[in-house]
């Protein structure tokens, strides 16, 4: 049977959408999320002081993303509204990272399969536990795939090289300063091997600190970042 003019197989459509989304994400500057002794550390290469890649979603939950800012900002706002509604309707402890990750996965999966253009985003939903064993990192990709990661997540441009470098330096029980220095050292890695320098004013740094009262999210200032990197 002959195919109608202009026919494109569903497999090719999905492949083209995936390639399009991956290229958009790869153009973004790297974001790294990793565990340390007192919680979870977020480090993003981001010189902007207003357009954040890292944000708080709820009491114990943080959000990090790379890709198109307007797209992941829409998702962040939706997550905040959903968390607030669930916490108000039931109980604050009912708002979990896993619940948010599953909801985001459904949203991204629907957009990828039904909309004309997929979202060019990759995200991590992180929840800090009462102990290190309770820390959770959920990585979500443009097609709605979700993975429960251990230790750290790297997203955006040059992610493979950064991941390879960080595997040698990350371990359980890192202090905040050690973790930040390991993260920045890994983020200066390039595929070409050329050295890079990242200063505090080119970084966006935040933590989910389990030692803080109810709201665990805290941004670090440039001065605090400089002190930890010294």
Which CATH number characterizes residue 26's domain?
Answer: 3.60.20.10
Is 5 contained in some domain?
no
Sheet order of strands, 146-149 included: 54-58, 61-67, 121-127, 136-140, 146-149
Is 203 contained in some domain?
yes
Is 4 contained in some domain?
no
User: Has residue 58 got a pLDDT over 50?
Assistant: yes
Q: Name the band, by pLDDT with cuts 50, 70 and 90, for residue 173.
A: confident
Is 39 contained in some domain?
yes
Number of domains in the chain: 1
Domain of 93, in residue numbers: 10-229
Under DSSP, the state recorded for 116 is S
Is 2 contained in some domain?
no
Q: What is the pTM of this model?
A: 0.92
User: Has residue 55 got a pLDDT over 50?
Assistant: yes
Give the rounded percent of residues in the chain with a pLDDT score beyond 70. Answer: 95
Burial 49-77 (b: 16+ CB within 10 A, else e): eeebbbbbbbbbbbbbbbbbeebbbebbe
174, 36 contact by CB (below 8 A): yes
pLDDT tens-digit series, residues 128-157: 999 999 999 999 999 999 999 999 999 998
Give the dihedral sign, CA 193/52/230/208: negative
Least confident of 114-118, 204-208, 224-228: 114-118
Under DSSP, the state recorded for 159 is H
Is 25 contained in some domain?
yes
User: Which pLDDT belongs to residue 196?
Assistant: 78
Residue 162: both structure tokens together: 């950064």
Is 71 contained in some domain?
yes
CA distance 125 to 140: 8
Residue-by-residue DSSP string for 5-74: TT---HHHHHHHHHHHHHHHHHTSPPEEEEEETTEEEEEEE---SSS-SEEEEETTEEEEEEE-HHHHHH
CA distance 198 to 229: 10
Is 95 contained in some domain?
yes
């Amino acid at each position: 049977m002959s195919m109608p003019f202009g026919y494109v197989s569903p497999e090719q459509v999905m492949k083209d959408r995936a390639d399009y989304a991956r290229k958009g994400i790869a153009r973004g500057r790297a974001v790294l999320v990793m565990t340390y002794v007192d919680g979870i550390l977020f480090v993003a290469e981001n010189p902007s002081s207003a357009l954040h890649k890292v944000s708080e979603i709820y009491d114990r939950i943080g959000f990090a993303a790379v890709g198109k800012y307007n797209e992941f900002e829409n998702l962040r706002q939706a997550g905040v509204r959903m968390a607030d509604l669930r916490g108000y309707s039931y109980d604050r402890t009912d708002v979990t990272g896993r619940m948010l990750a599953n909801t985001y996965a459904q949203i991204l999966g629907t957009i990828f399969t039904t909309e004309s253009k997929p979202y060019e985003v990759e995200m991590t939903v992180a929840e800090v536990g009462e102990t290190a064993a309770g820390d959770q990192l959920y990585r979500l990709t443009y097609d709605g795939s979700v993975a429960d990661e251990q230790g750290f997540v790297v997203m955006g441009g040059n992610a493979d090289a950064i991941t390879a470098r960080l595997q040698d330096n990350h371990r359980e029980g890192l202090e905040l300063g050690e973790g930040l220095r390991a993260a920045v050292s890994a983020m200066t890695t390039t595929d070409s091997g050329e050295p890079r320098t990242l200063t505090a004013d080119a970084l966006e740094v935040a933590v989910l600190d389990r030692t803080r009262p109810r709201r665990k999210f805290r941004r670090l200032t440039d001065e605090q970042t400089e002190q930890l990197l010294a």
